[in-house]
Amino acid sequence: MRETILTSLKKIEEDFHVKILFACESGSRAWQFPSKDSDYDVRFIYVHKKEDYLAIDPIGIGSKRDVIELPINNLLDITGWELTKALRLFRKSNPPLLEWLRSGIVYYQAYSTMEQLQALSTSIFAPNSCLHHYLNMATNNFREYLQGEEVKIKKYFYVLRPVLAAGWIEKYHEFPPLEFSTLVNHLVPEGSLKDEINTLLKRKLAGEELDKEPKIQVINQFLHEEIERLRKYANTLNNSTPNFTPQLDLLFRDTLEEVWK
């Protein structure tokens, strides 16, 4: 699959006349709980030629899109963000982008841009915005998938992971690791809750279907209580963040020079 992904990325460069700076895996494979039929969620960052930026209509306005998306097939989902879009989101401590930078599955990386972003990511990390992102994700998924006497069992992972990510931010004051098992091992005490979570994880990794089953009360109770507790904690945090715009402007200009020299 790696060769197929690299071939697709090369074709994107040729078809769209861009250069790709970075491509990684996101989603369940990066979180280390893929099912046997999980697709590959490839995310990348790219840059246009200099002259494309020196125009009266900036990238992202009108027909000049700042996203490249390939048609999704049964196994492969490839989406990329243009560099200035990525930098504006990075400035706001965007959690999906920060997850890309920490992905353990990197398909491609060129030039120095990503190394510089990774070095800046610790300083730019904003606990408040990241906490609200994960709590909103957890709340929406909990409400949609885990109510009633029978629930879609595999959806537990898509509530547990953001709740634990928020818990990691509260405990360690840093951006959380992607790996689900790391979050569980550090944040969930020994006992029935951890046993139930690990049983679900083993079943998912073994390829079980994990369709509708009776809800797991100990997990539901934990999720309900943690979402409420962490929501109160998030509301106590300071919203102010340093202004990194001058550094990111310079990084953008340096990237253009490096890539298109």
Read off the pTM: 0.93
User: Which of 174-181's residues contact partners 24+ apart within 8 Å by CB, and which partners?
Assistant: 174/122, 174/125, 175/95, 175/98, 175/102, 175/121, 175/122, 175/125, 175/130, 177/102, 178/30, 178/31, 178/32, 178/99, 178/102, 178/103, 178/104, 179/31, 179/32, 179/104, 180/31, 180/32, 180/33, 181/32
- Is 239 a domain residue? no
Domain count, the chain: 2
DSSP 3-state of 238:
coil
User: What does the block give as tokens for 138?
Assistant: 């957890």
- pLDDT, average across residues 244-261: 96
- Is 88 a domain residue? yes
Tell me the C-alpha distance between 53 and 44, whole Å: 19
pLDDT score for 210: 78
Tell me the C-alpha distance between 77 and 221, whole Å: 34
pLDDT score for 52: 95
> Do the Cβ atoms of 47 and 259 come closer than 8 Å?
yes
Owning domain of residue 230: 127-234
pLDDT score for 64: 87
Would the pLDDT of 72 be above 80? no
Q: Do 105 and 161 lie in a common domain?
A: no
In tens, the pLDDT along 219-248 reads 999 999 999 999 999 999 887 788 999 999
Query: In 102-216, where does DSSP find H-type helix?
Result: 113-124, 127-145, 157-172, 180-187, 192-205
**How would you class 246 by CB atoms within 10 Å of its CB: exposed for 0-12, middle for 13-18, buried for 19 or more?**
exposed
Q: Do 140 and 117 lie in a common domain?
A: no
Would the pLDDT of 36 be above 90? no
Q: Do 173 and 66 lie in a common domain?
A: no
Would the pLDDT of 209 be above 80? no
- Is 98 a domain residue? yes
